[in-house]
Each structure stands twice: as structure tokens, then as C-alpha cells.
Structure 1
């Protein structure tokens, strides 16, 4: 039957007819399913970058075609439930997740949990990445009727710094920003989607309640039971065996990306062994593919070698996939590859569009001799886990590094810069003065324990340490200079350590902090300590003090590498009867090195502890051994890092050496304080014989 609008009259009937038509269109629009788009299609159509971005304008797949399949696995109609992306730095993996979030707000609304290592990191990501994407993309921009609600609306119904609301759905659709260091944030919501970004920086255990990953898993349980949840894990890796993203990738179908050779058309997985360079010219690195033997492929050809269909699991039905495949075989294997629900994608540096093979080669060259730098290069440039090798050096073997022609109170020829590290205890202060030259070569100039109480600023051991260090050092030739940098342990009696550092320039209060990804020394951060009670000197939530954070894990790894290289060089010198090539980080000890220095300087080893069923590698003191001199050396290395000695050129070192070894001239300034700008005279550098010494401190121990 047809409804009779005319019986209501011409005017009223016409109004009713128009209203019914509008209602019909609205009802049909509400019931119409969203368009069946893949995330990659949505990104190509709607994702924009701001004008000040490195690559402004619309998203283009030809920039990084390897990201297409990663995004498509996150599409609603794809059976994949979990995507794992192990990657090098700046490879586009996080941008893929950003596209997914935009897609969700537009075509598949639902509650999303976005987790970073800390809540601060999550809000910074939103400010630096997400909101610029929203502003640049009309489909998302709230000022253009987009899918994201604006922040700071007067009615209080807008997005906030911790919660992004979608405008095309009800109150149950949003992005909740959370930190993996907050159990409260990870317990608050039941969510359909989750992004765990920078996964390897998540703690293994959170407030004794389990791992953040386990908590996220619980938030997804309800939607997962309906087969509707999706989860994305993204991170650069860290230590092999302890890397969370590495563990997740090994539990997936482990897909690798195959390049297409421009010469023979075969597919191959690039590896570091394929990167070559002319002798001594790492900046001219190129790729030699393992397929047809062509000698040289340049970086500019990389883009044409990457096709969107380049992904293949490393095993199919239990059969390992070779690194090189003919095109027909590759496509046949692609067709056989199961559509698993847990897919892993590896984005190594060799295929990244945002770093060249030359950049990788130069980074590899610069990391030689420093295990911590090599680890950073392996994780960030290559995007693979770093495997710890080598045991703790034998402290009894360190006697081979003693040199009998100089001792306490003497300055051998060689050091150019002088630093000090001090470890504070309740009954005194351990300290070590270290001379430094090019390539991190070091001489232990003195190491001692200064007894006295350390809880009162300016008194006890602090007064004696000040008297000891304010005399500075005297170089051969008679030039007296102050210690260039002191790093003082502020983790015990913080106020007293800060008072000591404030008394003179070139003194820095520091706080050692574990963490394999921490830099040698960071910017001053608020660190809190208790000043009284049973936890005196320990971390407190009430008192905020400034100290510089020192990444002790990487520095200890570097220090042990320097010791092993030095022992090897010493053994080769004895065997050959001549001086061996000086390795990076060569360690020299004098004849008066304290008897317990070697034992303390190697007192810690890496121990694997299982936390929530996951291996965690930590530096741990060996039973019955103290580690005070180890801490002193680590803090001295932090002082070297604060002076940025690794940035000095050969000319800088030569100029500084010429000044400090020249005969006394009161009119000449301190280059390390005033900057290194002028080249050194060609005849100014003294011979490097270590037989020449000069007194640089009062050699008596009873100066106190």
C-alpha cells in the first residue's frame, strides 16, 4: 500500500513526503556498511603529511612499498589478529600504525589502547606525530568535519591530552594513551584494538602485577573472544634473548622482505655481508647481490628493487626458505604461504628508504672497538638483536697491563685530557683519576679510597676530596691544568654531592641508571632520594634533586670490551717482541695500581633472571667482590662522554696536545674550555714514548 500524503493537504502532505525521504536516506545511510577498504588503500587516499614534514603531501606507497602488506594485515576483513614489526630506527613502521589509527576512526570505530614506554612518551607521540597527521589530513581534521574530535572544546566533550575521541561514533570509541609504567592506565578499559609502540622499553614487571604485555592482553580478551580484536607490536630490538619484540617476532610467521635484483630479476633477502666499500672509503658503500654476481648496485637503485609483494615467511610448512629465489619460485611460495593470525615483519636497515648503505657502513666503522656503540648500531641501524658475547675479563690477567716505568704521582707521556670518577659510600669516597687520549686510550693516573663521613656537605671525606682534586695535574713541560671533568656519584648522599659539585666548575653530580638503551650520560633529570629514616640515600617520591643520568649498562659493556682488547694487544706485543697496533680503548695501568683495583674493576657479570617467564639480563656483582673501582671507572667514562671527546678531530687532539705539553706559558688559554678551532703547528706534538714521566700530583699519601 502507498501512503496517502494528499489527505493531509498539499502543504502538509508535501512536508511529510520530504521528511519521509530524508528519514529514509538517513536510515539507509546508518545501515549501510562502511566501504570495504584496506588500511593501505585508506592511507593512499586520505593520509597527508604537513607542509613542514620531510616528505610533505599525500601518503605515497612508492616511498616504502614494504609497508603495504603490514598495513593490510591490520584491515578488519583480514583474519590476522596480531602484527609484530621488528625494525631499524626511522623505517616507517610507526607511521603504518598511525595510518591504522586514522582508518579505525573513520571506518572501524572502537576503543583503542595506545601504549608507549611511559605516559609522557605517549603524550609526546600524540603531540609530535598524531595531531600533526590529524591537522594535515582533511578526512581526520575536526575543523573540516573529520573523524577526530578537537581538543579543548568549551562543552568539555572534546579530546584531551590523554584521550582522543572519534566524532563519528558513540562514547565507546576513542584512543586511550597510556604508559607501560602505569598499571592503573593498563587496567582501566576493555578495548578492541591495541598498539604497543617501542615495546623493548617496556618493563618486565609492573608494580609486582606482571608484565605490561600481559595486562594489554587482558584488556583485549572480550573482543578477542569474538574474533574482532587486533593488536600491533612495534619496536627496535635490544639484547638477543631479552628483546621483547624479538621474542614476539620469533612467535610469529617471521616474514622477511625480498628485493628484486635489477640485473637478473631474482628475489633475495639483503644482508650486511652484501654491503661492500672500497678500502677505507665507507662513505662509498654499495650492495653486491647474492644472486647473479653483479658487482655493484647503488643506493639510488634501492627504491626500484622493492615491490609491495616482497614478503615471504622464513619457513613454509616446516621448510626453510632460501635467501635467493627465482621469481617464479618466489611467487609460487607466496601463494602457498598460510594467512596466519600472527604475522611478523622484519624491517632491517638494508631495505630502509630513509638510510643509505653508506650511512650504515660509516656507522659500522665508527662503532669499531666500542661494544656499546656496536650494540647501538646493530639495534638502530640494522634493526636486529645484539648478541652478547664474551665473559668477564680475568682480573688476575690484568697485571699484564701494568707498566713499571711510571706510578702514582707521575704523568706519563700520552694523556691529553684528565677526568675523575668518584663512588660515594657511607664511610668514604672511592675515586680514580684517568688520563685520556685519542681513540679512548686511557692511563690510570691514581686510584684511592678517601676515608671519612659523607653525609655532611663540605665536611669529612668531601673536604679531603676537594683538597685532593683542586690541585689539578701537571703535564710534562710543567703546565698545570685543573681536572677537566669530575663525575660524582649523587645516588647516596645527594645534597652533599651537589654541594661538592657546586663548589667548583667542571664537577657534575651523576646517578647511575640501568637500561641497555640509555646513553652514557643524559641531561639532568629530577631524581628523588630519602634523606632520613631506614631508606636514607635511597630513591624517594617526595624529594626532587637534580642529577645527570648515566647509562651504566652500556658503559660496562664498553669497559669490558676495552679490557679484553687491551689484554689481547699486550699478549700480541709479548709474543711478537714489539708494540702491537693500539686498539680503541687501550688501557694502561701504572706500577702503583691498588692491589684490589683489578678485582673490583671486573667485579660484575651479566646474569640472566627470569621475570614473569621472560629472560632479563642484568649486571650483578659476583659473590664476595666489591665493585667500587668499577663504578669509579664507569663514572670517569661518563665524564669523557660529557666532554664529548669522541667528537674531537685529529686536528683538535693535536692542538690540545701541543698546548698541554708545551713549556709553561701563562698567557696561553685552556683549549678544552674555550673551544678547539685552530689547527696545530706541525712540529708541536711531542714523541709518544711512555718512558718519559712528570710529577703531576703530590706523590705522598699523607697529604690529608
Structure 2
């Protein structure tokens, strides 16, 4: 009989130690995400991540692993593509399998708080594996997580904002995830580029090669877009699918030669492949997308993986919605920029050359009477720019299709150091003036804005207590909205906000100037066209050369800034730009009042309030002008850029692949 001996004490101890000394089983990032990552939001919220719906996420996720040897990954994307999951999945894998010190950088405090609250924290709490590893914020040991850092065995995840030098200077990190990089400042408190500051935090890992930087963003404007530069610096991978007709690989591009739809609802979109013309219907898009794979178009030594993905291929955005968004742009440069950035994932080519001021003067309309609001001008605004010895001012009115008419403009001479005297007295007279309109009524401005950049304290005092008056502050940058959220600037000696004090409204001047110059280049009846296009600018015969020189006083130039190229507005030598500022501020107020958002019914109601005869009010009259011309869009081969769309309504440049627009103005021409 054989005796079965019990294990020795040494064997028992060795077995126990092996379970802690031996490294955890190496699981790929994709496999880990499938089993552990719970989708925090969207239509699959609360479910385990399923990459069969978004197969394009798998490759960059695998390449983010340390074992891949890849150090940089760039993703240029549109909205609603699911690439936030890439960031969450990669971070989760490092927390559980390859712990280290990491950092996620968001552009602003608000963006970081929202990301932490609605995505990262939700993903951690809903995953048993991550919840067990990430220390709770309520820990009193001093080693628990905080609002700015998630701590776990072997590492930590710092949450930082791109406009805080303290956040970006304070720690050494191995992995950096930079989200929405196009919204990062170009220079942070005079200390340099935020991305460069992140790079400096990874110096210690350069020799070992264990570092990673992932850039993810929607782009902004050509020549200034950071993610555009990072995408072009990589091997430029596109998601290509086999053509159902001939099997040739192709990618979806926004080109009306291939992506076809009606300009009016229902748009009935479909895609005709560039290789053999096989028609792909909207319900076939997702099935075809799942058969695709990443194909680099710029492979070369030293090029890191860079990816482009947009709404045309995304399983979350229907083609009908894409067609509708483009039709609603109707030539509006501001809307087209948003469409390019958020739907096509492309940088917008902002046109920065103003027309010659002499040519603009030739377009003056002698029938327009100074000081009278024209029939189309349902929205009426005024703006002013304060200088040392006087104030420049402008009043203009907008129609439902964004055409604009100058009602009055000029310069008020006088001292500007007292808000109750000098030039401010005349300005107040103009602000409160009752202006005659085309229907026998008199109207005051719907909103009045004044630049507070010079003699701010005087401007604030003048604005205080005046309804419908906006203290404005022009802000640089391509990602700024036309007019943002206000902030209080009236405080007492104790630092407390004054009740009913002045609010300061930031204006994103860079995009507004691009849109204004685009509208200036449009030609209408004065140039022999049948109609005046949406956004067309009307000038009265009373307007002088000073005005036209000032509104054409800047151009879009490229400069080197902190080692990077960027586009910015540059004043022309010897030109003043005060009336250009007034024009731009007026457009910001128009956007605030909703000229780009009001429905035809709302325009009809406003027309009734303005005194337009009841028999002339027709909802169709106030709808955006339909696109009636054939779009001449450059035929793009599968290897060309992913978007060629009409940028502005410029009939004189039709050879540049741009459409033109028209509307019926029969009543208003009486």
C-alpha cells in the first residue's frame, strides 16, 4: 500500500508566493475591453463593449499596448464615432494589466468635469474589475483617489486641463491621452505649447521606449488645426471596404458625384461607388462598414499610425441626417465650418482674402436710404468700437436668409473718458433712436453691443442698467463660438458681484471674420446675377471709402508660433479696422438673436410683429433659400481627401467647385 504524503511546508509557502510573484495573465486590450469595459453612455449604455459594432476601434486599441512598440497614435474624427471608447478602453487595460502613471488631458475645466462624471467614473463603477482596483475617493489613508487623480496598485491616472500649467508640469507620466487637442491654447501663460509640456513629462521613458501619446480630436481650420498636423504627420489610415459590385477597396467621401441626395426633404441619400458605380443604400451602410479595414495612404519610414474616421462611415449617424445638415448650411460659412468639423471630421478651409474695397464700392445701391430699415431687415442690431477721441458705430439689419443691410455707420468725435458726456452722449442718442422701416413703423435696435477692450471701466459704466446692451470682448481662436457664456465683471470692494451688474460677453472673432469675408465675396444682382444669395451684403450709395477700406483691413495669414504654424487674422499696414470689428460684433449679436436658428414659423411671427402686411407673410418666404443649382464638386479618386463640398455661395468662382443659391424675392422687390 502506498502512502499519500501531505505537502511539505515549503511547498505550501512556494505555491502561495507564486500566485503573487507571477505576473497576471497577459490579456490583449481588445479582449480585456470585451470582458470588462461597460459602455458608460449612448444607445449601448450599461452593456459590455462589443467591438462588432465599432470594429474600427480594435486596431488603434491594440497598437496602444506597450507590446506594440508604437509611441504615438493620432485620430482625426468627426463627432459621434465612438472614439471616446478607444481612450476609455486603453486606460482601463493599463489600469488592470499594465499599471503605470498616466494622464488624460481635456481642453477645459468643464470638459474634464463632464468626461470624469459621465464617462470615466461611470465606466470604473460599472466594471467589477476596475472598481476593485481603483481606490475610492473616500479613503482616509491619503492614498485614495481624488477628483484629479485615480489611484490603483502600481500607478495612477491624473486628470488635467490644457489651460493649466500647474496640471501639466507637476508629474512624470508614461502614457498620455490628449483629447480634443484642437481646443488647446497655442501658448499657456507664456510657458509654451501644452502638448510640448506633456512631452516634457515623458522624458524619463524615452530610452526605454515605453511611452505613449494618443491625440484624439475633431479638427478646426486648415493651417491651424493641431490634429490635422498630427494626422498628416502619420501614415494616414482610412477605413476602406470592398465594393459590393467589383470587390475594389474604397472609402466613403463626401463628394456629390458619389454621395447623392436630394436638396430638399426627403433627401433619399445613397452612395455610388467610384470604382464601378454600384449603388449602396442607407440600410446597407453598417453591414458594409463591418467588412472594412484600415489602409494607410502615406506609409513611409518613421510614420506613426494616424487615423481618419467620419460620420459617413459611422454606424451612429444616418446618411439622411448628413444630407439634411448640409442642406441646412445653405452656404452659411459658420454652419459649413461646423459641418466640416463635426460631420466630415475635416479642417475647414477658411477663405481669408477680402475683396478689393474699390470693387465693393461699385456694388453700392443708390436706392438704399441712410437711416431707413429695409423691408427684409426683420432683425436690427447696433455696435460700437470705443477709441481715445471718439467712437465708431454701425447699425445693420438681417433677413431670414442672412442677407444684411447697412442702415447707418460713422464716427462720433468727442472725449470717451466719461460715460455720461462727450461721444457717449451721441452714442446713447443713436442707441435709443426710433428708426423708420419700410412699413411705416419706427423701431429701436433689438440688441446693441460695444467693444470693451479700450477704457473698459468707462464702457462697463455706460452699459450698466441698459436692457439689451452687451459689453463685448473679442477672443482669438478657431474653436470659439460666435458669442459665448457671459461672465460678471461688476464686483464691489469685497469681491462680491454687484446685483444687476455688467456681464462681459466673449465673441469668437476669428470664425466670424472668415464668415463675413466669405459673404463679402458673394455677388448678386449688382453683378448681373438673377438674385442676391443668402448672406449677401448690401451697401447704400451714401457709404464712403473710409468704411470700405476698414472692412477690408485684415487678411488671413500664417505665422510660426512656438514652433508650430497657425493661421490668424493680420491687419493690413496703414489700415484701421474699427468698422470691421463693428461688423463682426453685429454678426455675433445676430447669432445671439437666432438668425441662423429661427424656424420659418418664427420668422413669420416676427414679420407680423414688424408690421409686414398679412397677405405677404408666407412661411415658405422665410425658409432658408433652397439649393437649386447643380453642385459642381471635384471628382475625387478613392485616394484623395475625404471631403470636397461647396464652401461658399460664390457664382463668380464656380470653377472652384462651389455651388450657388437662389430664393424668390418677388414681394420684397415691389
Tell me the TM-score normalized by structure 1. 0.81
Q: Does 1:303 find its partner at 2:286?
A: yes
Q: Counterpart of 1:42?
A: 32
Q: Does 1:259 find its partner at 2:209?
A: no
Q: Counterpart of 1:347?
A: 309
Change (3 A) 1:413 1:377: same
Q: Does 1:617 find its partner at 2:567?
A: yes
Which secondary structure does the structure 1 equivalent of 2:411 belong to? strand
1:323-472 equivalences in 2 (<5 Å): 342-389=304-351, 391-472=353-434
Count, aligned residues? 608
Change (3 A) 1:264 1:662: closer
Which secondary structure does the structure 1 equivalent of 2:331 belong to? coil
Deviations 1:504-558 (A, max 9, x none): 32222221111111111111135699x9xxxxxxxxxxxx973111110111111
Q: Counterpart of 1:289?
A: 273
Q: Counterpart of 1:702?
A: none
Which secondary structure does the structure 2 equivalent of 1:342 belong to? coil
Q: Counterpart of 1:687?
A: 667
Q: Counterpart of 2:141?
A: 155
Q: Counterpart of 1:645?
A: 595
Which secondary structure does the structure 2 equivalent of 1:410 belong to? coil
Q: What's the offset of the Cα at 1:454? A: 3.0
Distance of 2:52 and 2:242 partners within structure 1: 15
1:559-578 equivalences in 2 (<5 Å): 559-566=516-523, 569-573=525-529
Q: Counterpart of 2:618?
A: none
Deviations 1:664-704 (A, max 9, x none): 9xxxxxxxxxxx9xxxxxxxx993137xxxxxxxxxxxxxx
Q: Counterpart of 1:33?
A: 23
Which secondary structure does the structure 1 equivalent of 2:596 belong to? helix
Q: Does 1:102 find its partner at 2:92?
A: yes
1:542-561 equivalences in 2 (<5 Å): 546-561=503-518
Q: What's the offset of the Cα at 1:406? A: 3.0
Q: Counterpart of 1:276?
A: 260
Q: Counterpart of 1:224?
A: 206
Change (3 A) 1:473 1:73: same
Which secondary structure does the structure 2 equivalent of 1:553 belong to? helix
Distance of 2:458 and 2:16 partners within structure 1: 72
Q: Counterpart of 1:133?
A: 123
Q: Counterpart of 2:647?
A: none
Distance of 1:504 and 1:228 partners within structure 2: 60
Q: Counterpart of 1:481?
A: 443
Change (3 A) 1:526 1:192: farther
Q: Counterpart of 1:111?
A: 101
Which secondary structure does the structure 1 equivalent of 2:84 belong to? helix
Distance of 1:689 and 1:120 partners within structure 2: 49
Distance of 1:249 and 1:595 partners within structure 2: 44
Distance of 1:583 and 1:253 partners within structure 2: 41
Q: What's the offset of the Cα at 1:50? A: 4.5
Which secondary structure does the structure 1 equivalent of 2:335 belong to? helix
Distance of 2:514 and 2:538 partners within structure 1: 18
Range with bigger deviation, 198-207 or 61-70: 198-207
Q: What's the offset of the Cα at 1:235? A: 0.8
Distance of 2:461 and 2:352 partners within structure 1: 40
Which secondary structure does the structure 2 equivalent of 1:615 belong to? strand
Would you say the 8 A contact 1:658–1:686 is kept in 2? no
Change (3 A) 1:451 1:48: same
Q: What's the offset of the Cα at 1:488? A: 1.8
Which secondary structure does the structure 2 equivalent of 1:204 belong to? coil
Distance of 1:385 and 1:22 partners within structure 2: 63
Change (3 A) 1:52 1:362: closer
Q: Does 1:593 find its partner at 2:543?
A: yes
Distance of 2:490 and 2:223 partners within structure 1: 32
Distance of 1:240 and 1:370 partners within structure 2: 18
Would you say the 8 A contact 2:363–2:527 is kept in 1? no
Distance of 1:237 and 1:556 partners within structure 2: 19
Which secondary structure does the structure 1 equivalent of 2:182 belong to? helix
Distance of 1:282 and 1:221 partners within structure 2: 55
Deviations 1:227-279 (A, max 9, x none): 21122111111222322111111221221111233444442111112211135
1:206-225 equivalences in 2 (<5 Å): 206-225=188-207
Q: Does 1:198 find its partner at 2:155?
A: no
Distance of 1:449 and 1:523 partners within structure 2: 30
In structure 2, list runs of 5 or more residues that go unmatched. Answer: 494-500, 615-621, 623-664
Change (3 A) 1:570 1:26: farther
1:603-614 equivalences in 2 (<5 Å): 603-614=553-564
Change (3 A) 1:634 1:79: same
Q: What's the offset of the Cα at 1:23? A: 4.0
Would you say the 8 A contact 1:66–1:308 is kept in 2? no
Q: Counterpart of 1:239?
A: 221
Q: What's the offset of the Cα at 1:120? A: 4.8
Q: What do you get for the CA RMSD once the two structures are aligned?
A: 2.8
In structure 1, list runs of 5 or more residues that go unmatched. Answer: 7-13, 318-337, 532-543, 574-579, 665-675, 677-684, 691-704
Picking from 65, 72, 88, the partner of 1:75 is 65
Change (3 A) 1:244 1:477: closer
Q: Counterpart of 1:334?
A: none
Distance of 2:79 and 2:331 partners within structure 1: 22
Which secondary structure does the structure 1 equivalent of 2:24 belong to? coil
Distance of 1:199 and 1:661 partners within structure 2: 49
Change (3 A) 1:279 1:457: closer
Q: What's the offset of the Cα at 1:364? A: 1.6
Distance of 1:352 and 1:594 partners within structure 2: 51
Distance of 1:350 and 1:238 partners within structure 2: 18
Would you say the 8 A contact 2:382–2:449 is kept in 1? yes
Distance of 2:505 and 2:185 partners within structure 1: 22
Change (3 A) 1:286 1:55: farther
